[in-house]
């Protein structure tokens, strides 16, 4: 993941064409050009099927009767297990994009809610902006790109809290436990367990980051693992216990005489 283009070229003994988003999304003809006659390798970070664009590329190749061989790889979708939460207890994955003044999409809120209603953890993938143009440069047709931006854990948590405050339906609360995952798979990877409001003040350091919002199905072993990453283990244990009460079915209360009179 940390290798430079030069290092990869020297490793493979071949020239590498850097495929930016534009090339991948609109340049399938260029990528598949001659692929029926010679081998073309399309390298990705993570699992090749992490993005619909890659599925689309395979479909286009199949339509042109180009044989495709997939070599699988570790991906954040399974390496996230390194935080100690079991992979089979994760629900659907959501993406958190940078909010702007006019664009604050929150469809992920319902997905987190759905996951938590059935007790599942939610992996939140944090936005990255690489090779993006400013609106002004885009309008003027200037191919000048903004410096790359990577969402921090703190910003993600602030956006989570903003939308929860707006919706007010408690899909999660400021006290819901979560795990911040930084630089996963690199030698400097780190984890931090805390509530969403605590992590809104967490300095997560260099990118990339992801966040997992806990579900109710938190096994004893999972909790033991998460406690290793908590600043205040006792508090975090209590936060998890309190949060788990959320979506439990309500306890049965025997009717009182007043109730039966009505």
Should residue 92 be labelled a site residue for its own copies when binding is judged by CB under 8 A? yes
Task: Measure the CA–CA gap between 100 and 106, rounded to whole angstroms.
Answer: 12
Closer Cβ to its own copies, 88 or 103, answer by number? 88
Task: Measure the CA–CA gap between 48 and 19, rounded to whole angstroms.
Answer: 14
Where does this chain touch its own copies (CB under 8 A) — which range of 20-28, 99-107, 112-120, 150-158? 112-120
Give, as ranges, the residues between 184 and 213 that touch its own copies (CB under 8 A).
185
Should residue 228 be labelled a site residue for its own copies when binding is judged by CB under 8 A? yes
CA dihedral (58, 61, 62, 66) positive or negative: negative
Should residue 47 be labelled a site residue for its own copies when binding is judged by CB under 8 A? yes
Contact 43, 49 (CB under 8 A): no
Q: How far is the CB of 142 from its own copies (least distance, A)?
A: 33
Should residue 182 be labelled a site residue for its own copies when binding is judged by CB under 8 A? no
Q: How far apart are the first and last CA of the chain?
A: 67
- Where on the chain is the footprint of its own copies (CB under 8 A)? 47-50, 52, 55-56, 58-59, 62, 70, 72-75, 77-79, 81-82, 84, 86-95, 114-115, 117-118, 120, 185, 219, 221-222, 224-225, 228
């Amino acid at each position: 993941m940390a290798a430079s283009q030069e290092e990869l070229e020297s490793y493979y003994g071949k020239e590498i064409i850097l495929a930016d988003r534009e090339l991948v999304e609109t340049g399938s003809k260029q990528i598949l050009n001659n692929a029926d006659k010679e081998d073309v390798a399309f390298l990705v970070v993570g699992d090749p099927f992490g993005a619909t664009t890659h599925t689309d590329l395979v479909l286009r190749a199949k339509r042109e009767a180009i044989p495709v061989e997939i070599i699988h790889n570790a991906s954040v979708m399974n390496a996230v297990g390194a935080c100690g939460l079991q992979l089979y207890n994760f629900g659907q994955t959501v993406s958190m994009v940078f909010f702007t003044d006019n664009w604050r999409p929150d469809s992920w809120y319902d997905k987190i809610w759905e996951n938590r209603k059935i007790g599942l953890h939610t992996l939140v993938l944090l936005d990255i902006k690489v090779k993006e143009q400013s609106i002004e440069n885009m309008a003027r047709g200037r191919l000048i790109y903004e410096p790359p931006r990577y969402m921090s854990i703190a910003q993600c948590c602030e956006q989570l809290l903003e939308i929860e405050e707006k919706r007010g339906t408690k899909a999660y609360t400021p006290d819901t436990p979560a795990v911040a995952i930084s630089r996963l798979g690199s030698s400097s990877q780190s984890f931090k367990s805390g509530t969403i409001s605590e992590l809104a003040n967490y300095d997560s350091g260099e990118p990339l980051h992801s966040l997992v919002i806990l579900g109710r199905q938190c096994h004893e072993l999972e909790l033991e693992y998460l406690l290793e990453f908590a600043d205040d283990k006792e508090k975090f244990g209590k936060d998890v216990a309190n949060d788990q009460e959320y979506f439990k079915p309500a306890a049965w209360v025997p009717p009182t005489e007043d109730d039966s009179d009505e």
